[in-house]
């Protein structure tokens, strides 16, 4: 059976990535694509690399007949998503890629995003979309909130360790390096080629990055008490990819074993042998996560490094993985594409 | 039916690319991988991005039982290939990715590669592997010689034009821009990151690049008389991709129509609307070729720009496309992966 | 004696490059910096890499007291320049970096820039700023028009050859590769890091690039009859640098000798030994031009490759070189900085 | 007065950087250049970007008449340096860029570099070359040991803080991001363009990087008791530049004030206003260090970010700065070149 898919906000990078993944998916078919400002254009005009595909024309959201749609991927900007999804018929399942439904506490939402949530009832029923940890709820959800790409990377490295109590939750530092595509196709000076090339710079430092809302929510829930991490994101001269270096307190072997056990049966999360660490390009264009553990020369200190592709496992790949579950398909359907290397 | 595949020389970039493509191919299975100097290692040690795959250990060629192999991809260096392939049992089909069997004239081979061919009988029976133009012969071939990646790009742009007589064959200039992966994983100073980054340089200029042997052979055959083009390759700071700018004499509309007609039914070759030209990244990681035509302000002058991914359509993707034909499968099986963008 | 300098439009890349060059210039002092939209800011806020310098605050043009200024570098956008320069007092010398005063024929200006010139009298008195070829006129000029960076590169390769009659002026093809900084700090989608990285694309192809106005004007004047070249610019994934590959008809040795002779006494233009060709990074950050000549295998065909840094020799370095002459200083003062490599 | 300079090991990146800096230095003159394997070649053959300079031919060390040399920059590999310098006449001053004379404790040297020191007497008299902190000793030294580029970056961020006792010396984490040129021009697979492009990877993790020997030595001396930091270097896809993110315990304002005070009169070290952080490209090609301080949301936690160019301030620029002192020149002579941006 083939599921009819609509992608709202198809003219951004996550939209294009969804089209890429669905184009070879065995049981999904793209039935509608929206892009308000580019309505009337062909996808190949916006993304010429998709020229080989027979795709519907870009339309405005209100032109879509949602009665013919099984599942919607909503790749709209934050704040816009909640209004649009609130208006969708109940018959359609939704995977949202924005930040709008990630935070369960409405005060936390208002704190991190600067204004009250406009669809609080919907918010309550949304399921957090980190597939490997919310699988059962996702399977039965109508609305799944895709995680932040940075937040996903940190959680893959840290959730099992906090859950098992093998690291000190008050001593967690995450140094993150992220490529430019995480910021989308938006026209900002620091995203210009001439600016970012041969450059690295921290941003949203000191505890101000919005993905901390997710980290706080999830890690506190796991630990059963408030957990606040330190988190320093850096923009690096690469297009795709996030690599984090986590500075932790715990016994290195225990940390490694805990992670290896946690992901032993996961198709997409790979823990490297003790002492080996991953390279960002090793997962580029794929839905895989690579995690490595290194003991420090100082006893009781351990470094965990994790990497994923922000557009695939960090957003659109995760979204397809969740949609697979929601549609009763095999979780990895269409997602076993090997990374592009070199 | 699943075909058992061996890849000889699997530790190079074209080897890794073959593994990537075959890993989601519906009817191929990797049964053996060779890499002489890395025999005994796992593929994941050589290419950690392939960690998720269950692959045979790297072995020496002589350890492979070829009676269990249906088809061999030979990704060995030039000159090595001819000796190895000569020793393979007749029962196994072969797609060679080296330059060893591309030139039908043994004198031309000796001229461009600096020594006589060691397997001249085999040479005579090899079929030139530019799929779109040698389809019928490839279908029945035992040995197919993959084309040079630069030579492939030029031929996609020029073959239909020479064949139709719509351009002057004595006035063909091809200015080529190529990423670093075309040179393989070899340790050469000019391939160092610190050297190539933020750099561009011509190489093998003035008619000395070996792929001219292929151009001369093919274009002369089509034209029915000697054709020699001008060809200037440049190394550019990119990993994958070749983009050529061809300066030609002919009527632009006729040139465009001729190319559009030639590729109208081709799955992998796309001719853009008149006046539009392709970007190198639009085909990255895919088996597609994009071609554009622009009229010059000077009457009778026309520019044709073509691009492909040197590791996919330029070598390993082409190899799989040929193997599909040789094995009786659909020509595009496993090859409809969308480009990775951005 | 130290000359008081004003830079108008200091918040763009050419403005920053002027500041860089003047900061170690032995006889220039920055007395005023303008940037209309950023008036009131410090230069270090706009360009933190200039933090070590003691610079005047950015102001609006009308705030500058031009009676205290010896020479103005005008780095404003096209069309804005002519109005601003027209209002400057006669006592101040001007080097304009825009396109406004490059074309002597007002019809040509209107044709390439889409509207009539607003300061035609000034236009008549402007001197074309290709220093090596207009030295005497520049020395006595009040207004010098900086050349286009692409136009400069092409002229360094071709002017001596056209002048000497050693190439066929009807058979000139220039294939140009340019880094992103030539387009300035403007927010355009194709200049985003995620778009340009790992990418190459032609632009303004087929004879539509505005710098053709300069090529036509200069080459026709030299040849004594109309000369129209073919010109294909490509945007490449680099920040600084232009490299051109020129396809010409002539005797290679004669072409090489003509260039070598022409530049024998030039401090900034270097002709490589016959058969050697330059790399773009070899001139990065410097005022040098490197030129190489290669014979083609086809008799009578010759390839000339030239490279320069678009922000230095292509605009701000050239501007300082011209200003040196206008101010009676040594032509190379402040400009002998070695390229930054790697 | 002009000092006669010899550069030993001129064919590497630090050698080329020394030539670049000295080429516009007011009182240094390059009198000899050595490169054993490239003896007999011109520097322009090894580094074409230096083509404009009139330089001595590359020779073997034993061909140099050191009686005519005032100061030697020794840019030879580790271990080679000690033997060569041991043989130099006492009349010549030496700035060594290798690791050979950085560690005062011979056991520490043997521990980090894997074999005993061969010139222990010389080692005792060498002065550690972090100019801003060893100025007086350097002024009178015959042999100065240039610091490691990573070690320099960390010390600029941390020395004043440890000295003032405003951070906890047992809780120092340094996450370092470094471009490829720090590894030199050596042919290693992970330094290939196709490998490093679009990639990030940790290396020498867990307390195994040799520059920890310097950190331990210097920080312990300042603190008056053993200090061991955590240190994680990462290779990033850039050519030049090091950026470190230091996770510290202390009061943010105090940390900022301490750094601002320490560097108030330094020409090359700039502390940004509280809350601002530096970008790696802001110091590219220059001798400057930029340092920023950010308070974390967790009380008592503070992040310090520092950046410099590994080839300039991290090695060759520092070397010239030290040589200036040793030769009685102004410390900043020849070093006020502005960064190259973009």
- Identify the residue among B194, B196, B241 best suited for mutation to test binding to D, counting D beta carbons within 10 A and taking the highest: B194
* A324: β partners: none
Give me the residue spans of the domains in chain B: 3-125, 150-310
Which residues of chain B lie closer than 8 angstroms to D198, CB-CB? 239
Whether D258 shows a pLDDT value over 90: the answer reads yes
Of D69, D60, D77, D66, the residue nearest D30 (C-alpha): D69
The pair phi, psi for residue D167, each rounded to 5°, is -130, 160
- d(C-alpha A321, C-alpha A327), whole Å: 10
Whether B1 shows a pLDDT value over 90: the answer reads no
- Banded pLDDT at C320 (limits 50, 70, 90): very high
Question: Average pLDDT over chain C, rounded to whole?
Answer: 97
Residues 6+ apart with CB under 8 A from D199: A238, A241, A279, A280, A281, D235, D237
Residues 6+ apart with CB under 8 A from D209: D150, D203, D231, D233
CATH of domain C3-147+313-326: 3.40.50.720
Residues C150-310: name the CATH superfamily.
Dihydrodipicolinate Reductase; domain 2 (3.30.360.10)
Measured N-to-C along each axis, helices B106-113 and B211-223 cross at an angle, to the nearest 10 degrees, of 150
Which tens digit of pLDDT belongs to each residue from B215-246? 999 999 999 999 999 999 999 999 999 999 99
Q: Please report all neighbours of B, defined by 3+ CB atom pairs within 8 A.
A: A, C, D
Q: Considering only alpha carbons, which residue of chain B is nearest residue A265?
A: B52
Whether B73 shows a pLDDT value over 90: the answer reads yes
Is D195–B193 a contact, with Cβ atoms under 8 angstroms apart?
yes
Is C181–A194 a contact, with Cβ atoms under 8 angstroms apart?
yes
- How many residues does the structure list for chain B? 342
User: Which of A234, A238, A297 is closest, CB to CB, to D207?
Assistant: A297
Is A180–C194 a contact, with Cβ atoms under 8 angstroms apart?
yes
Give the up-direction half-sphere exposure of residue B19: CA atoms within 13 A in the CB hemisphere. 35
Is A48–B267 a contact, with Cβ atoms under 8 angstroms apart?
no
Cβ(C293)–Cβ(C282) below 8 Å: no
CATH of domain A3-125: 3.40.50.720
Give me the catalytic one of D35, D61, D149, D302. Answer: D149
Which tens digit of pLDDT belongs to each residue from C81-101? 999 999 999 999 999 999 999
Is D341–C20 a contact, with Cβ atoms under 8 angstroms apart?
yes
- How far does the CA of residue B239 sit from the closest CA of chain D (Å)? 5
Which tens digit of pLDDT belongs to each residue from A153-175? 999 999 999 999 999 999 999 99
- Identify the residue among C149, C193, C237 best suited for mutation to test binding to A, counting A beta carbons within 10 A and taking the highest: C193
Predicted local confidence at residue C288, as pLDDT? 98
Residues 6+ apart with CB under 8 A from A87: none
- Identify the residue among B157, B190, B198, B243 best suited for mutation to test binding to C, counting C beta carbons within 10 A and taking the highest: B198
User: Which of D48, D240, D337 is closest, CB to CB, to C279?
Assistant: D48
Predicted local confidence at residue C216, as pLDDT? 98
Terminus-to-terminus CA distance in chain C, angstroms?
Answer: 36
Q: Please report all neighbours of A, defined by 3+ CB atom pairs within 8 A.
A: B, C, D
Q: Please report all neighbours of D, defined by 3+ CB atom pairs within 8 A.
A: A, B, C
Taking residues B202-227, report their average pLDDT.
97
Q: Does domain D150-309 have CATH number 3.30.360.10?
A: yes
Which residues of chain C lie closer than 8 angstroms to A189, CB-CB? 185, 187
Is A193–C196 a contact, with Cβ atoms under 8 angstroms apart?
yes
3-state secondary structure chain D: CCEEEEEECCCCHHHHHHHHHHHCCCCEEEEEEECHHHCCCCHHHHCHHHCCCCCCCEECHHHCCHHHCCEEEECCCCCHHHHHHHCCCCCCEEEECCCCCCCCCHHHHHHHHCCCCCCHHHHHHCEECCHHHHHHHHHCCCEEECCCHHHHHHHHHHHHHHHHCCCCCCCCEEEEEECHHHHCCCCCHHHEHHHHCCCCEECCCCCCCCHHHHHHHHHHHHHCCCCCCEEEEEECCCCCCEEEEEEEECCHHHHHHHHHHHCCCCCCEEECCCCCCCEHHHHCCCCCEEEEEEECCCCCEEEEEEEECCCHHHHHHHHHHHHHHHCCCCCCCCCCCCCCCC
Q: Considering only alpha carbons, which residue of chain C is nearest residue D338?
A: C20
Question: In the numeric block, which tokens belong to residue C271?
Answer: 């002709």
- How far does the CA of residue B196 sit from the closest CA of chain C (Å)? 8
- How many residues does the structure list for chain A? 342
Active site residues of B: 149
User: Which of A179, A199, A278 is closest, CB to CB, to D279?
Assistant: A199
Give me the catalytic one of C16, C126, C149, C236. Answer: C149
- Banded pLDDT at D1 (limits 50, 70, 90): confident
User: Which of A175, A280, A294 is closest, CB to CB, to D201?
Assistant: A280
Predicted local confidence at residue A180, as pLDDT? 97
Q: Considering only alpha carbons, which residue of chain A is nearest residue D243?
A: A200
- d(C-alpha D51, C-alpha D285), whole Å: 19
Q: Considering only alpha carbons, which residue of chain D is nearest residue A207?
A: D297
Cβ(D73)–Cβ(D18) below 8 Å: yes
- Banded pLDDT at B138 (limits 50, 70, 90): very high
- Banded pLDDT at D39 (limits 50, 70, 90): very high
Which tens digit of pLDDT belongs to each residue from D57-95? 999 999 999 999 999 999 999 999 999 999 999 999 999
Which residues of chain C lie closer than 8 angstroms to A193, CB-CB? 180, 191-193, 195-197, 237, 239
Whole-number Cα distances in Å, A149 to A130, A268, A321, D114: 10, 15, 14, 42
Of D164, D163, D50, D145, the residue nearest D99 (C-alpha): D145
Q: Note the maximum CA span of chain C.
A: 62
Which residues of chain B lie closer than 8 angstroms to C339, CB-CB? none
Which residues of chain D lie closer than 8 angstroms to C272, CB-CB? 48, 51
Is C52–D270 a contact, with Cβ atoms under 8 angstroms apart?
yes
Which tens digit of pLDDT belongs to each residue from B289-317? 999 999 999 999 999 999 999 999 999 99
Whole-number Cα distances in Å, D46 to A224, C295, D35, D38, D41: 63, 24, 10, 8, 8
Task: Indicate if D74 belongs to the active site.
Answer: no
Which tens digit of pLDDT belongs to each residue from D312-341? 999 999 999 999 999 999 999 999 999 999
Q: Considering only alpha carbons, which residue of chain C is nearest residue A188?
A: C187
- d(C-alpha D200, C-alpha D189), whole Å: 14
Predicted local confidence at residue A1, as pLDDT? 79
Is A199–D280 a contact, with Cβ atoms under 8 angstroms apart?
yes
Which residues of chain A lie closer than 8 angstroms to C189, CB-CB? 185, 187
Which tens digit of pLDDT belongs to each residue from D259-289? 999 999 999 999 999 999 999 999 999 999 9
- Banded pLDDT at C1 (limits 50, 70, 90): confident
Q: Considering only alpha carbons, which residue of chain D is nearest residue A290?
A: D201
C-alpha angle A16-A19-A20 in degrees, rounded to nearest 5: 85
Instruction: State which residues of chain A have pLDDT below 70.
Output: none
- d(C-alpha D224, C-alpha A182), whole Å: 45
3-state secondary structure A190-223: HHEHHHHCCCCEECCCCCCCCHHHHHHHHHHHHH
Which tens digit of pLDDT belongs to each residue from C280-293? 999 999 999 999 99
- Banded pLDDT at D132 (limits 50, 70, 90): very high
User: Which of B202, B279, B296 is closest, CB to CB, to C277?
Assistant: B202
């Amino acid at each position: 059976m083939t599921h009819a898919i609509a992608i709202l906000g198809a003219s951004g990078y996550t939209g294009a990535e969804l089209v890429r993944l669905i184009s070879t998916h065995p049981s999904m078919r793209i039935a509608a694509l929206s892009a308000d400002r580019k309505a009337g254009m062909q996808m190949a005009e916006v993304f010429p690399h998709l020229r080989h595909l027979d795709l519907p024309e870009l339309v405005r959201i209100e032109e879509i007949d949602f009665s013919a749609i099984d599942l919607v991927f909503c790749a709209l900007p934050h704040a816009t998503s909640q209004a649009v999804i609130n208006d969708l018929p109940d018959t359609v399942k939704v995977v949202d890629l924005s930040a709008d439904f990630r935070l369960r506490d409405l005060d936390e939402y208002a704190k991190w995003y600067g204004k009250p949530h406009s669809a609080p009832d919907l918010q309550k029923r949304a399921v957090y979309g980190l597939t490997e940890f919310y699988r059962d709820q996702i399977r039965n959800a109508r609305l799944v909130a895709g995680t932040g790409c940075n937040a996903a990377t940190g959680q893959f490295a840290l959730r099992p360790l906090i859950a098992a109590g093998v690291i000190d939750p008050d001593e967690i530092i995450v140094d993150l390096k992220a490529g430019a595509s995480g910021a989308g196709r938006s026209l900002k000076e620091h995203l210009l080629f001439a600016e970012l090339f041969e450059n690295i710079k921290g941003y949203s430092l000191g505890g101000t990055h919005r993905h901390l809302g997710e980290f706080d929510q999830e890690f506190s829930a796991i630990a059963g008490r408030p957990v606040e991490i330190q988190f320093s994101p850096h923009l690096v001269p690469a297009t795709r990819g996030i690599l984090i270096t986590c500075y932790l307190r715990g016994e290195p072997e225990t940390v490694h074993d805990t992670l290896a056990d946690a992901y032993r049966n996961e198709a997409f999360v790979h823990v490297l042998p003790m002492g080996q660490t991953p390279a960002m390009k090793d997962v580029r264009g794929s839905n895989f996560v690579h995690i490595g553990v290194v003991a420090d020369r100082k006893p009781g200190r351990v470094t965990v490094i994790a990497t994923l592709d922000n557009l695939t496992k960090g957003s659109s790949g995760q979204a397809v993985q969740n949609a697979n579950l929601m549609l009763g398909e095999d979780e990895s359907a269409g997602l076993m594409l090997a990374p592009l290397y070199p």
